[in-house]
Amino acid sequence: MSGAIDNQQRGTWMLSGKRILLIVCGGIAAYKSLDLVRRLRERGAHVRPAMTQSAQHFVTPLSLATLSGEKVHTELFSLTDETEIGHIELSRSADLIVVAPATANIAAKLAHGIADDLASTLLLATDTKILMAPAMNLRMWLHPATQSNFKLLQERGIAVCGPADGAMACGEFGPGRMSEPLEIVASIERLLGDETKLPLPLANVSMTAQAEPLAGKHVIVTSGPTHEAIDPVRYIANRSSGKQGYAIAAQALAAGARVTLISGPVNLPAPAGVELVRVESALQMHAAAHAALPADIFVAAAAVADWRAAAASKGKIKKGSSGPPKLDLEENPDILASVATLKKGRPFLVIGFAAETDDVKANGAAKLNRKKCDMIVANDVRPESGVMGGDSNSVHLITKSGVETWPELPKGEVARRLVARLASMMRGAGQ
């Protein structure tokens, strides 16, 4: 059964009959909330919409009412509403409150207990779980006030999905775009799944039904290739797809960990709930890995480029009469070794991968010693193995105590077994 079909079936099952109060705030991303309503209803959820005054400048109550099939609530002091359905009932009768887009303004109000309109009152007058999907200009998002408001809200148990990086309506580029509707749906499924403890029928999510073996732990995973610029249009890269690292991040999350996924450029959706840090180059990945510490477990699944251009050209290198240009290379820092050899704040478990074409086990064992990590997951990346970019992997787990060879398995299953092993290593060491 394909993952897409699994998710579709799981989603349909998990959201049918769920009551979602959707609060739409004012921002250009409000148009995506219309699609969010459609996606939620497709999955069987009931969506009751509420809008702020400023949201109504971006989408109309009529559009939301038509798509949701429900009355749209906009006013705090509406007598009809207070007799038929008060704001208290509106927020408390929901299984989940979703704020999308969530502006800097609504986050500031909720963080500081301000209730001066319908949306902020609904949020304050409830103990129902809340998911916020922030969307705003990147400078507003990066402002210390906004950052500290969202941090405070998360500490109080409010879930946050996004924002994503990308080109913004204001012409700037960076973090601040609202997550895509399907990513928000995935977060909703995860939150409602956890909350209601529904038995999840699929093998690849069975861990969430057990006690969460990595609850309270922070896991950092590096994943994907790195791109090393030669000039503004060319770069050095490799064939890594990021599938193995993303699968490990998903399984660590399912095991209850807080997960930071530091990803090079790949075409994969981040598992809902991980903290995704997108990078391009090895230097950026190195900086992001150290910035994400402290952690309990560090898994280096990325295929980091060993070298970068010593001096990337600012302009596009043109074909000249003197033949091909000479490319001087400089070695990139070894991220795995730099984390494994930290004198202070070394994660309890530091796990590396070894991509080998020859002498897989011997080369893997040499890397274990050289990089001072606790385990090397060695795999054969000869083109005929199909591992690079493929969906399965056959690995050797190399530790100081020896080598354990696993049969060829789907990458998701390698990830599930690996995370279970890491959890039992932590438990065995009393961590």
Nearer to ligand CTP, 78 or 363 (CB): 363
Residue 411, interface with ligand CTP (CB under 6 A)? no
H helices, E strands: number in the chain:
15, 21
Q: Is 170 annotated as catalytic?
A: yes
Nearer to ligand CTP, 84 or 359 (CB): 359
In contact, 398 and 406? CB cutoff 8 Å = no
Integer Cα distance of 48 and 119 in angstroms: 13
Q: Which of 25, 161, 170, 373 is catalytic?
A: 170
List CB contacts of 18: < 8 A, sequence separation 6 or more.
44, 45, 46, 95, 96, 192
Sheet holding 218-223, edge to edge: 275-278, 258-263, 218-223, 297-300, 349-356, 375-380, 395-399, 402-405
CA distances from 114 to 85, 120, 153, 156 (A): 22, 7, 13, 16
Nearer to ligand CTP, 218 or 371 (CB): 371
CB of 292 to ligand CTP, least distance (A): 14
Site for ligand CTP in 328-347 (CB under 6 A): 332, 334-336
Among 24, 136, 302, 388, binds ligand CTP (CB under 6 A): 302
Site for ligand CTP in 164-223 (CB under 6 A): 222
Integer Cα distance of 420 and 426 in angstroms: 10
Tallying the residues shown for the chain, one arrives at: 431
Per-residue interface string for the shown chain with ligand CTP, residues 272-301, x marking contact by CB under 6 A: ----------x-----------------x-
Residue 224, interface with ligand CTP (CB under 6 A)? no
| DSSP secondary structure, 295-330, as one string | -SEEEE--B--SEEESS--SSPPPP-TT-SPP--EE
Residue 354, interface with ligand CTP (CB under 6 A)? yes
Integer Cα distance of 369 and 373 in angstroms: 7
Q: How many residues bind ligand CTP (CB under 6 A)?
A: 16
CB of 282 to ligand CTP, least distance (A): 5
Among 101, 264, 352, 412, binds ligand CTP (CB under 6 A): 352
Residue 123, interface with ligand CTP (CB under 6 A)? no
Integer Cα distance of 177 and 151 in angstroms: 18
Integer Cα distance of 410 and 368 in angstroms: 24
In contact, 252 and 419? CB cutoff 8 Å = yes
Please give the distance of CA 240 from its chain centroid, rounded to a whole number.
19
CB of 288 to ligand CTP, least distance (A): 12
Interacting stretch for ligand CTP, rule CB under 6 A, among 36-44, 49-57, 155-163, 302-310?
302-310
Nearer to ligand CTP, 251 or 332 (CB): 332
CB of 163 to ligand CTP, least distance (A): 27
Residue 353, interface with ligand CTP (CB under 6 A)? yes
CB of 410 to ligand CTP, least distance (A): 20
Question: Which positions are annotated as active-site residues?
Answer: 170
In the complex, the residues that contact ligand CTP under the rule CB under 6 A are 222, 282, 300, 302-304, 306, 332, 334-336, 352-355, 367
